[in-house]
Structure 1
Amino acid sequence: MFANNIVYVSYNHGYRAPEYDKAYGFVNHDFVPLTPFVIAPNLDLEAETSDSFEIGNKFDNGRAYVYASVFYNKFENFIDVVTTGFDSSTGNYIKQYQNLDGVELAAGYGLTKQWDISTKFGYVDGKDTKGEYVRSITPFEGNVQLKYAHQDFNAYVAWNWAAAMDRVPKCQTMLGLATECAQTSAWNTFDLGATYYVSKDLRVSANIVNLFDKEYIRYQDVAGIAEESKRYSTEPGRYFTLNAKYEF
């Protein structure tokens, strides 16, 4: 530990017993169009355990701050849902909860008393014991925000971004054939917003989200689904929000 600076190391051990419905439950989804499926019980489902290691640094001198960390998580018997087969007699895909063995940065700086800039980004990677990517990983993704605040008024502009994502597991098509899971392209969007305190109790805010009406897909919304199905998962185009809050 130094002035305005803290370095830390942490370790955590996790334990997650399988929920009753995942081990013994049977859920029929044959009403789903095109890709009906059932979630079958798995009596051999084992408890999930994890070991998490993290090393990081926190610096904050009142005007500038930098928080950075690197983490590693090792899962044993990671509980997830995967497609295990196809029942030709019913036309249903069989899905079952299986055991899969299995960098963050935030910074900001006060440019003046009214202006400050901040940024954050993260990245997660991981494979199972078969060498396949797991669904819970993410691409490089983050944002940069410039903010103005003076007396009863504040405003911001934010740049949001994500890198392309091609580290994906295997999926199945509607016909039950092995295929690559959905991949996503890099994207950038901008948001604008402002807030005005009309009085001590009344606040009015307005925002423009996705300013340039960018069409894009966040990987987290399509992780683990087939490429052919991702067209239904685009984020909203440009939209506006307006709200008022009054505290009694």
Structure 2
Amino acid sequence: MPSSPFLLWTGLPAAIGYCEEGAPMLDAEKVETINSVLAKAKFVVIGVLVGAVLGVGGAVFFQNYNPPDDDKGAAATAVFGRFVEQSELVGVSQDYCIVDKYPDVETFFDLFDLPWTANSVWYRYAGTLKAGVNMETAEMSSNGTNIRVSLDQPYIVSNTPNMDITGVLEENNNVLNPIHVEDVDEIQRECVRISEEDALAGGLLDEARTQAEKDITTLFKSALGDEYMVEFEWREA
């Protein structure tokens, strides 16, 4: 088993979208207005740009379309409908780097080590973890300017290795106990496990939940106005 690894984390938020089927429809002119303006505010998976895109797109939308009270629920549904284009809302992204030494030695019937068979590998494993929300199961209801969004708990969307820097840093091989490809595969699996366990312990899913609420709320308020109140319900896993 590996010793305690050295971890380096950085974070970057991002967002995508989803919509609800069977939503009430606006008249053709209003739908065209909503779609033409919201298209300018489409989410991108670069957290640094999310606020700017939503702010500008929402401001233009609000200046051009201010629905009467009877249409507020339908307007909220139309805005939420922009999320149907993506199945996931990626809330946060974290880069990590694990550097650790992985020794191995043969044993005599598991009774004691055979020191002349010892080998070791210093291995670096780097990658990017993304956590988000499954928007395919998202639901929305509205009552005037009150909006309620129901979501499943966040989860790790992906764990992608950075193969440009991942690899063996130092290898102490032994002809009596050579290092095999399957040994490296096992090291990589161990690094994936460590990276995800540390991310969960460090609150990655909590950050994804907070970011999802922020992004969805920003979309509604930017598009429809600050009088809209958004409430979230997180279903039990």
TM-score by length of 1: 0.26
Give the strand-richer structure, 1 or 2: 1
Whose Rg is larger?
A: 2
Give the helix-richer structure, 1 or 2: 2
Higher relative contact order (CA 8 A, sep 6+): 2
